Amino acid sequence: ATLSKRKREADAMRARFNSCNTSREFAKGLIDVTVRDLGRILAPQLPPDWADQIKATKVGGATPTRETDRGVEFIGICSSREVSDDKAAQMVFQSEGSSGKDADELSNKYVEELRKKARIVER
């Protein structure tokens, strides 16, 4: 009974969610509600059980509510952008397959490619 009440409250809060700036105001009137800033997270770092829902949610929106070990939760998306840097590439390569012969071949191919493109300038 309590969990279904919490789920209804979470669904109501989720429906009113339109930005991260106002989420703390919504939570003020509710008992046992926590609003946390999860910071910036790259796509490969997303928890597997939340990843699809988060990717499908638009900026300013919220994922559907879920019952977890912490209670009823949803995640609001404050902003999103495409990034292209070494850290993101490294994480993608690690998540695609960091074990076995294929990973070694891919690693060797990547290093070979970098060596071909490298240019050393002595001053």
Question: Which residue's structure tokens are 């429906």?
Answer: 15
Work out the burial of residue 72: count CB atoms within 10 Å of its CB; fewer than 13 is exposed, 13-18 middle, 19 or more buried.
Answer: buried
Cα–Cα distance measured from residue 41 to residue 75, given in angstroms and rounded to the nearest whole number: 13
Cite the DSSP H helix spans in the chain.
2-16, 20-28, 48-56, 86-97, 101-117
Predicted model pTM: 0.63
So what's the pLDDT on residue 89? 67
pLDDT for res 92: 64
pLDDT, one tens digit for every residue, the chain (123 residues): 688 888 898 898 888 888 888 888 878 877 888 888 888 888 878 888 999 999 999 998 999 999 988 889 999 998 887 776 676 666 666 665 555 667 778 788 888 888 888 887 787
Report whether 63 contacts 50 (CB < 8 A). Answer: yes
Give me the pLDDT at residue 63, please.
93
The alpha-carbon radius of gyration of the chain (Å, integer) is 21
